Copies of this chain bind each other. A is one copy, B any other.
Amino acid sequence: MNTLSRKQREIAERHALLLDIGRRLIETEGYRNLGMERIAEISEYSKGTVYQHFSCKEEILIQLCNHNSIGLKSMFERARAFEGSSREKMLAIFVAHELWAALNPNCLELHQTLCGGGTKEKVSNDSLELHNKLDFEIVGLVASIVEEAVEKKELHEGASLSAPELVFSLWSLCHGGLQLRSLDLPLAKMGIKNPQAATLRAIESMLDGIGWHPLSTEHDYVAVVERIKSTVFAEEQHACESAR
């Protein structure tokens, strides 16, 4: 049993190693140019061995995505635990999402590659189930903040948007914003100097519009964002700044 356990540990270690090589290759050369042969070379194992870990290229993709999602979920949990009003917690979610995207290059592109174009049909059931479960949990987590706001009467039930619909809208806004930023459009030339700030103000406007108290006219949320960055996500914020 000891030997079995040792063997299993070795395999798990190698699994992580191969995944990491994949991640780095994608980071430098893009998913398009990721080749199993290449991973084999770098890891100094043979192609067959790599295929014992990942039945196909797509399996690497989804496992990287799941790894990213686990990170996001954990950051969201810390955001929800922020001591403050429900709206401040939602702001912490935004900050977490931004930092997560900044710290995980390509995470959006990977997620999208995974979901688009019949890619999901090639991956293992286990990975796919985990993927769905994570998505579900993440949405539920954010929705719980909205529900808390309703309970605390900071947001009126029966406002124009239901809790999950509001989550969907905010998700759209953040996700869409990151996406547009990642498309290397000449945003600056279009007059969009600071897209992140624009997204933040759009969120504020939207939350004001549905009447989530305290309104942005009643509270300095920009200062709150700074406080969140320097307390809850101090480490991530630092990593983010030193990376550029």
Interface residues of A, Cβ cutoff 8 Å to B: 29-33, 109, 112-113, 115-119, 132, 135-136, 139-140, 143, 160-169, 171-177, 179-180, 182-187, 189-195, 197-199, 201-202, 204-210, 216
Inside 8 A of A31's CB, which chain B residues have their CB?
117
Inside 8 A of A202's CB, which chain B residues have their CB?
161, 166, 169, 172-173, 206
Contact A30 B172 (CB under 8 A): no
Count the copies: 2
Inside 8 A of A132's CB, which chain B residues have their CB?
186
Seed contacts A165-B201, A166-B198; 6 additional CB < 8 Å A-B pairs: A112-B116, A132-B186, A143-B191, A165-B197, A168-B190, A169-B173
Contact B171 A180 (CB under 8 A): yes
Contact A176 B185 (CB under 8 A): no
Inside 8 A of A177's CB, which chain B residues have their CB?
168-169, 172, 176
Q: Which among B135, B161, B190 is the interface contact of A201 at CB below 8 angstroms?
A: B161
Inside 8 A of A160's CB, which chain B residues have their CB?
201, 204-205, 216
Given contacts A109-B116, A118-B32, A175-B180, whether A187 and B209 have CB atoms under 8 Å apart is no
Contact A179 B176 (CB under 8 A): yes
Contact A165 B185 (CB under 8 A): no
Q: Which 3 A-B residue pairs are closest in the complex by CB-CB distance?
A: A176-B176, A164-B191, A205-B209
Cα separation A201 to B180 with both chains bound (whole Å)? 21
Inside 8 A of A162's CB, which chain B residues have their CB?
191
Inside 8 A of A139's CB, which chain B residues have their CB?
190
- State how many angstroms separate the Cβ of A226 from the closest Cβ of chain B: 17
Cα separation A208 to B172 with both chains bound (whole Å)? 18
Cα separation A174 to B30 with both chains bound (whole Å)? 27
